[in-house]
Amino acid sequence: MLKQFIFFLIVILFACNVSPKKDYKIETFPVKPLFIDKGEEEGWGADIRLSVTSVIETDTTKEITGESSYNGDNLGLLVSVPKAKEGEKGFAKGLTLKSIGKESNYLLSTLVNLYKQKPDTSLIFTNNISVNYVNLSEFAKHLVANYEQEDLALKEYKLFFEGKNDEDYAELFLNINLNEHWIELREKDEEYRSLLINSSFLF
């Protein structure tokens, strides 16, 4: 009886040490300096490009980490893009922005500066926020006959942030190019700056 118990215990311990089969793949890339669009050609002077440092692909999502160096520190965030097909005209929900820790808090403080908002050391990047969005390439196909996207690697999204009150609303462009390993956060309008920073949307 004792031998059977010992054998059973060994089997359990061995089973606990066996790693589960992974149903995802991971790619990693180096951190590069932050690029800030100063607005010479387009934009509002506060659009940023982060380097993609990690892509984790599962059956349902692509988890993309954007992280760059800026003034001696790293800043960034994680973007989770659902793989489910978007609905009519490219509209969908469930794209999620997530914190990666102190790097995301530094991203927030950098945006506060770029957006020319009042500094507030108590602000921290939200753990995660899921938003409605539209895939702009799919949307364009419904507006323009025979539309063909020039760069198939470029994914362009408009994100919609909605709060508890009707006036709590903001939009932000999110562009991703996994071939060139970058993520962009581009402004829709300057009027959304204070809402994005000081409300319960992104931060």
Domain map (residue ranges) of the chain? 24-198
The least confident of 1-10, 49-58, 158-167 is 1-10
Q: What residue type is assigned to position 122 of the chain?
A: S
Q: Are 70 and 110 in contact, with CB atoms under 8 Å apart?
A: yes
> In which residue are the tokens 């602000």 written?
123
Per-residue pLDDT, averaged over 125-146, amounts to: 87
Per-residue pLDDT, averaged over 3-25, amounts to: 51
Q: Which two tokens stand for residue 121?
A: 């050391």
> In which residue are the tokens 């999110």 written?
174
- According to DSSP, residue 90 is labeled G
35 vs 175: CA distance, rounded Å: 14
57 vs 37: CA distance, rounded Å: 29
Per-residue pLDDT, averaged over 84-108, amounts to: 93
Give the pLDDT band (50/70/90) at residue 141.
confident
Q: What is the pLDDT of residues 44-80, one digit of tens each?
A: 678 999 999 999 999 999 999 999 999 999 999 999 9
